[in-house]
Each structure stands twice: as structure tokens, then as C-alpha cells.
Amino acid sequence: MEIAAPYLMFLGDVPDDLAAKTAHGIVDWRPEWCLGQLRLPGCRADLKIPDLTVPEAAERGARTMVVGVVNAGGVLPDHWVPVIVAAIEAGMDIATGLHVRLGDTPAVRDAARKHGRRLFDVRHSSQRFATGKGTKRSGLRLLTVGTDCSVGKKYTALALEREMRARGFDADFRATGQTGVFISGRGVAIDAVVADFISGAVEWLSPEAADTHWDLVEGQGSLFHPSFAGVSLGLLHGAQPDAFVVCHEPTRTNMRGVKHPLPAIADVIDLTIRCGRLTNPAIRAVGIAVNTQALGEGEAQGYLDTLAADYKLPAVDPVRFGVGEIVDRVAHEFPQAAPQDGRLARASA
């Protein structure tokens, strides 16, 4: 699916900013696409962008209204429907990451048909996928993998795209989750793909490319998570990565939602290589990305220095300190794809 920007961000009447995490992710990484927010009375989330009505957003050129929130059960509340219909009537497409399909609501479906607007259910791709074949493809790929869920795989891939492009690399972020699809404007929510077709969907998402092109594939779940390891493995095989970055949150002891202990980074590296060799025998680790939000700055830097020494890999916090050291490693490991115009020095230097 390809979603047209710019966006009007619809927050409904959600109770807090956590409920609007999808919208926050879009604003963090694609602020230029976000014209404003539409909040109903009682909404306690705030993206810190202009509040707009549907007519104001349409006048400013909004092409899609994004329902950038999550709620229990992923349902579409009845009192949101008139606002969505009004946006359709004003000329906007509608996109959501909810579990329910927009077209299952008759008023929304009928309005879209009448006005010729598109409905994007980001979790439910209409694309048909083949089974994965594992055949070597041209181009280069980097996959972010995790010790757990929600440890920064998406933010790491996006930070790598930003840094690599700033240095002159030919690099594109490839979204595999709902928020990533909104951020990039295209992609596949892998967790909603039938299991037999997960690896094939990733092959479709990251097809053959120029030998110097990098696809930066957003990881999902963890090979060690009892709930989501199947998705993570299919994604690994389909991505056929030449390189991977391990993403980690250091204050956790158990994996999210289960009682299983968090795996060691060394175990994640080892298992990723052993499983990844099925479709790319040359797979290798190029860095560790850590979410150090819960640590003080000095403590965070000390922790990263220890990881770098222990694993002989660059260890960074992508948000706090940037990913320059990982890009340095990528340039060293894959010189054939490094820029040749003098921009190899770190963009932030």
C-alpha cells in the first residue's frame, strides 16, 4: 500500500499520549508530512502540531487522514465515524492501524465509494504474496533484530536511513509494521500476513536492487519471544540480510508479556547468524543499538562502552547519540557500497 501525504493526524478522544504512539512515531520521523492534528473533546494526547478542523486541513492540502491511535481491541468507536465520513467528503483518503477494517463500517464504506476515496487498513494488506524462495537477490540489506519486542528496531532502522542518506549512501527504510508503513508511506504489516507467506512478503518488500543499494528492513519481535518468534524467523529468512543490528533495552529482565527471561545479546547474535545463513551464508552483525532512556547520560555511555568492548562491535543509542559508529562499520565491511564523493566522514562531524 502507498499512502499519500500530507496527513491530518486524528487522535479521537484517547486518554493519554501512549494511546497515540503511532501518531507520535509519524510526527517524530516525518514531521514535514503532518499538517496538523484533529482532537475530539476529552482527548489528552497532544502531538504539539496545529489543531485543525476537517475543512481547515482540506484547505491546506491534506490528502490522508490517519487514525494514529490504538485502543483495546483495535476497534473503531461509533462516535469517531462522523468525523471520518466528513474527512472523506472533504476529499481525503483514510488510513488506520486498527484491527477492524474501515470498510466493515457501512457509513465509512459507502462514503468512500460515493466520493472515490481510498481506505487503507494498514494491518491488512490487499497485496497477494508468494511463498518465499530464498534465492539470492542483488542489492544489500540490513535487518534490525531484537532481544525483545519494543526495544527500538524501527527507530534504529530509521536512524540508519537518515545517517546513511546524509553521507551519500543509496539507502531506503523498509517498513514491516503499521507505524513504519505510515512513516514511509508504503510497506507490509508482517504480523498480519498468513504464516506461509511471511518470507515471501519480505522478498516482495525488498526486491532485487542495484549492487550498491541498501534496504534497511524494520525488524519485528524476537527470535527468543515465545509469542512472536515465528514472525521474526520468517522476516529474517525473507530479508536475506547481509548485515544486522541487535536492538536491546537494558533494564528489562523478562520479555514483554511473558515470564521468559531476556536473552543475552551474544545469544541473539549467535542464533540470528545460525538461522540467517539459510538464505544468506555471509550474514554478519555490524552493531548494537540500545534504548538507554532509563539510564543517566554518563551511565548510558559507560554501558555502551562496555558492550562495544565485550562484543567488538559499535554500540550506540540511536536517539541519544546517533548511529554514526554503526554506519562507519557498514562502510568498512561493505566498501563496494560506500559513497565515493568524499562524504564518508560522519555527517554529524
Phi, psi at 246, each rounded to 5°: -85, 130
| 11 three-state secondary structure | strand
Structural domain includes residue 197: yes
Q: What is the pLDDT of residue 1?
A: 61
Same-domain status, 102 and 146? no
Q: What is the pLDDT of residue 7?
A: 96
Structural domain includes residue 317: yes
Amino acid at 169: F
Q: What is the pLDDT of residue 257?
A: 85
Set of cell numbers at residue 288: 548494537
What string of DSSP letters covers 194-256? -GGGHHHHHHHHS----TTEEEEEPP-S-TT-TTTHHHHHHHHHHH--SEEEEEE-TT-SB-T
Structural domain includes residue 346: no
* CA 267, 270, 273, 278 torsion-angle sign: negative
Range of the domain at 58: 7-121
Cα–Cα distance measured from residue 202 to residue 184, given in angstroms and rounded to the nearest whole number: 15
Same-domain status, 330 and 202? yes
Which residues are CB-neighbours of 15 under 8 A, at least 6 positions away? 44, 45
pTM: 0.85
Q: Are 119 and 111 in contact (CB under 8 A)?
A: no
Give the angle 246-249-250 at the CA atoms, nearest 5°: 110
Cα first-last separation, the chain: 37
We report the CATH number of the domain holding residue 194 as 3.40.50.300
Kindly give the confidence (pLDDT) of every residue in the chain, 349 residues in length, as a single tens digit, with 9 standing for 90 and above.
678 999 999 999 999 887 898 899 999 999 999 999 999 999 999 999 999 999 999 999 999 999 999 776 678 999 999 999 999 999 999 999 888 899 999 999 999 999 999 999 988 877 889 999 999 999 999 999 999 998 999 999 999 999 999 999 999 999 998 889 888 878 898 988 999 999 999 999 999 999 999 999 999 999 999 999 999 999 999 999 999 999 999 999 999 889 999 999 999 999 999 999 999 999 999 999 999 999 999 999 999 999 999 999 999 999 999 999 999 999 999 999 988 764 544 444 3
We report the CATH number of the domain holding residue 21 as 3.40.50.720
Q: Which helix or strand (DSSP H or E) is residue 301 part of? A: helix 297-311
Structural domain includes residue 345: no
In eight-state DSSP terms, residue 79 is G
Same-domain status, 115 and 154? no
Same-domain status, 145 and 108? no
Q: What is the pLDDT of residue 49?
A: 98
Q: What is the pLDDT of residue 151?
A: 92
Structural domain includes residue 132: no
Phi, psi at 152, each rounded to 5°: 110, 20
How many separate domains does the chain show? 2
Query: Could you count the other beta carbons within 10 Å of the beta carbon of residue 312?
Result: 7
Q: What is the pLDDT of residue 346?
A: 45
Same-domain status, 81 and 170? no
* CA 321, 324, 327, 328 torsion-angle sign: negative
